[in-house]
Amino acid sequence: MKLTRYALGLLAGLIIGSFIAGTCSAAASTRRTTPATHPPGPATQAVTAATRPATQTRPARVEDALAAAVKEALAGRFLQATKALRITAKAAPDNAAAAAALDLLDRHLSRSNRSRTEQRREYTEAVRRVRHGMLAEQYLPKLAKAKVDQKLRKKISAVVSAYGEIGSCEGLMDADTKAANKLCDEATRALEQTDAALKGTLKALKGDTSQYAKVLDGLVAALKRQLNACRQVWHDAKTDTAHERAETADKLKPLEDELALAVADLEVMTAMKPWRIALSQGRLAKQLAGKGEEYSRQEWYKSLLADSQAQANKAVADARWFDALMAYAGLEELLTGIDSKKEQFYKDKVKEARRHVRMLRLYGDEDESRTASKPTTGPSDTEATWHEMSAGIDAKMVKKAIEKLNDFYVVPVDYKKVSRGALLSVHVLGKTPQAAKSFPLLGDKDRQQRFVKAIEAQLAAIDRRNGVDQLDLSLALHTVLSVSEDTVKIPTRVLAMEFADGLLDELDRFSSMIWPDDVADFRKHTMGQFFGVGIQITKKPGEPLKVVTPLVGSPAFRAGIKAGDTIIAVDGRATEDRSVDRLVRMITGKKGTKVVLTISRPGLIKPMDKAIIRDEIHIRTVKGWRRIRNGKWDHCIDPKAKVGYIRISQFTDTTARDLAEALTKMQEGGMKSLVLDLRFNPGGLLRAATKVADQFLAGGRIVSTKGRQVRRTEVNASPSGKFLKGGLAVLINEHSASAAEIVAGAIKDWRRGLIVGQRTFGKGSVQNVIPIREQRSYLKLTTAYYYLPSGRQIHKQNASTDWGVVPDVEVTVTPRQMKHWLEIRRKTDLLKEVDQHLLKEAMAKQYDADLQLSSAVLLLKLKGLAG
């Protein structure tokens, strides 16, 4: 794990930037009206909720009855709407609008009932894995005593290894006939090898009649059934045409998913730390629990809490801080919304454990934290050391930052709390034995104890004082530096960094220092400029780099790079043994410079070199329903009903312009209504978000900001938007944040459109970036909060029960359902040569799998039918 604060991710390193909102400036219009008011609490219902009786009084006219039924549907009461429409359709069998509305609702209810059944099944599976994990945790020590555990693990490891060689339906879809036939042969052979490895699994437990052995026997039998089912499809696969390969892939996909789950179930029983799996599955079960599911009263939940607390206590006693962090984080999540006092207790414990993990990773022996997360094959060629992270830091930077807190922070600073956070961070460093690897004098027991006791004395003095102020915080820093110099001689730059990071962590999760080592990445993010070739990439350990898709108009696109290409070398250097971060740095570079990518592609006799000139990469954040041949987007999701679709991935300087162009094009094509998809949108530029909202609002306030020490600002809509009339549905989920919440919240408050999906993230704070020491570093500090037109605050505070944007119609999806439709969407988003018939089928599957999207389209179509 790369430990720089602004490290680029897998895709961001090549093409995507994060953007920090600047100060709000009012739009041209200052006309004010009053936003719609809402009753307290979320006015939402699940799609299948049946808590309100159907309308008892039958309207005299069919049109009135239809309007009344649509009103029920728009409130998320789909079952009631369907019942009312059945009565209407029976009374007026010749009314086409009523019949069409009833047909839409019937199909939607069928889809949502199927989704609810899947959710219940996933919940049951998660609870079962919780029980299996706890059972394995209890029984594996007995197997270890009998010296059977390693033999059993070896058997199951062989099963997992053989399973890993099985081909995938995705590979079949991408292959030609020759490659597909080879893939079928290899997959069939790998399935047979997996089955053979499975046969020896239970021999290690011969004669064992325990519950553990019975469960393992059942899991082995289930896996065998899945292997046989997959083997049959691979054996019978037809591969002559793309359509036949697609049909086979469709049959394989659900079987592959079930096979993966069956293998995972088996691994639970021999995991080195099964309690971790039990805890993660408990968190999942809590997320999947349906309304009215009293999981907190169930025995599995109570046992999981007790077992996880025991694991946390043991981990702390053994100084296994990564385990402690996992246990505390799980306990915090399990108790969120159940017991606020215990939730806060574990939140504090998470913070304590996170400090220890940080110290181990930065300054000590990382073996425990690394093996706890993922295996490594050697030292990372991208991982920042503490030498790099602390380079250029001095105590004056921290003192300057302390001086700025009271001047700018959004609420009065609790100096006692931040002083404790700063001192505790240094205290943990002093108490970490492994840190002696970096700071040898910490290995001198006398010096180390004198240093730690001096910090503890400061903590005690802070606790005794009633009034702690800015001066006390600065004096604490001075004392830490002085004591260190007299004892363990930890470099000033390290202590300054830990002291500042510790105090800012107590303010909020968005306030932080941008240290000298971070400044270059920070400027790159805020400028939003990237120079490279314009490709999205993916990579598996030990394998070459793979192109997910080129970006339209990018240097890679112009050079003929295609989705699915394998990049086996960059400037002659092989990619398979290099990390993604390293490869990102190799491919990106200054504008106008050359990079040579060696490409392998099915059908090529030998790899070819592509010399590409780097250029600025422009991110297109406005997307449509499907790609068309020229790489552009088709925004029409339902041609017959004239429903358009726009997805905004984030808010950049070009978002509003691209949105306006897309709206103009759709309106020229006769669009009547629109789905605006803001799911998974993390935010971006505030000015871009307000310009987007302005396209849909005829006037009134879009958003305002208010802080303790900054003047109130507000942004108002102008009457010149592109889509001020017509049906509008906005899709949101828990990953919609910041600027996305501002757009959705403004549309909801002015009742301009219907909000569909799940409650948003709740990131409604404004961070200002304050230069420190001639711009050698910066203080990123929360200075204000965003407020919606109704005056409601978006930001989620500690123990908050009301945050973000609450949908008008709540439509929940499970993680597995979400993964399924995102996989389909990823394929249909690619710039790839695909048979148009297959693409049409893929789009239909995506629509059917995405319950939130289909719900939004349903509501717009119902509104259209009702007039």
Residue 707: give its domain's CATH number.
3.90.226.10
From 390, 738, 765, 854, active-site residue: 738
Residues 153 and 281 grouped into a single domain: yes
Note whether residue 9 is domain-resident: no
Q: Which residue has the tokens 């990564």?
A: 322
Residues 807 and 828 grouped into a single domain: yes
Note whether residue 361 is domain-resident: yes
Catalytic residue status for 341: no
Dig out the tokens for 335 from the structure.
């108790």
Give burial (CB, 10 Å; 0-12/13-18/19+) of 553: middle
Catalytic residue status for 840: no
Note whether residue 40 is domain-resident: no
Q: How many CB atoms within 10 Å of residue 313?
A: 12
The DSSP secondary-structure symbol of 834 reads: -
Residues 632 and 778 grouped into a single domain: yes
Residues 703 and 816 grouped into a single domain: yes
Residues 172 and 191 grouped into a single domain: yes
Domain final residue, candidates 458, 481, 515: 515
Dig out the tokens for 497 from the structure.
């960094």
Residue type, 481: L
**Rounded to an integer, what distance in angstroms lies between the CA atom of residue 283 and that of residue 372?**
19
Note whether residue 273 is domain-resident: yes
Note whether residue 100 is domain-resident: no
Residues 268 and 340 grouped into a single domain: no
Of the candidates 510, 493, 694, 564, the residue with the CA atom closest to the CA atom of residue 5: 510
Note whether residue 5 is domain-resident: no
**Torsion angle of the four alpha carbons 647, 652, 656, 662, in this order, in degrees rounded to the nearest 10:** -40
**Separate counts of helices (H) and strands (E) for the chain:** 28, 22
Note whether residue 185 is domain-resident: yes
Note whether residue 690 is domain-resident: yes
Domain final residue, candidates 585, 616, 647: 616
Q: What is the pTM of this model?
A: 0.83
Regions of the chain short of the pLDDT cut 50: 1-34, 37-60, 367-382
Report the Cα–Cα distance between both ends of the chain, in Å, rounded: 55
Q: What's residue 295's pLDDT?
A: 86
Q: What's residue 557's pLDDT?
A: 84
∠ CA 759-765-767, rounded to 5°: 145
Domain count for the chain:
5
Please, are residues 36 and 791 in contact by the beta-carbon 8 Å criterion? no
Residues 611 and 630 grouped into a single domain: no
Q: What's residue 576's pLDDT?
A: 86
From 505, 694, 749, 850, active-site residue: 749
Catalytic residue status for 581: no
**Rounded to an integer, what distance in angstroms lies between the CA atom of residue 419 and that of residue 821?**
47
CATH number, domain with residue 556: 2.30.42.10
Give burial (CB, 10 Å; 0-12/13-18/19+) of 582: middle
Residues 690 and 828 grouped into a single domain: yes
From 748, 763, 780, 796, active-site residue: 763
The DSSP secondary-structure symbol of 434 reads: G
Half-sphere exposure of 704 (CA within 13 A, CB side): 18
Dig out the tokens for 284 from the structure.
């999942």
Range of the domain at 365: 307-515
Residues 719 and 583 grouped into a single domain: no
Dig out the tokens for 178 from the structure.
């020759």
Segment 576-582 long-range contacts (CB within 8 Å, at least 24 positions apart): 576/542, 576/543, 576/544, 577/542, 578/381, 579/380, 579/381, 579/382, 580/10, 580/13, 580/537, 580/539, 580/545, 581/2, 581/7, 581/8, 581/13, 581/382, 582/381, 582/382
**Rounded to an integer, what distance in angstroms lies between the CA atom of residue 867 and that of residue 848?**
26
Of the candidates 590, 582, 531, the residue with the CA atom closest to the CA atom of residue 556: 531
Residues 333 and 270 grouped into a single domain: no
Of the candidates 454, 396, 416, 414, the residue with the CA atom closest to the CA atom of residue 772: 396
Residues 694 and 563 grouped into a single domain: no
Q: Which residues pair with 728 in a beta bridge?
A: 674
Determine the angle formed by the axes of helices 149-163 and 96-145, rounding to 10 degrees. Answer: 140
**Rounded to an integer, what distance in angstroms lies between the CA atom of residue 347 and that of residue 336?**
10
Q: How many CB atoms within 10 Å of residue 866?
A: 18
Residues 441 and 482 grouped into a single domain: yes
Domain final residue, candidates 467, 483, 515: 515
188 φ/ψ angles, rounded to the nearest 5 degrees: -60, -45
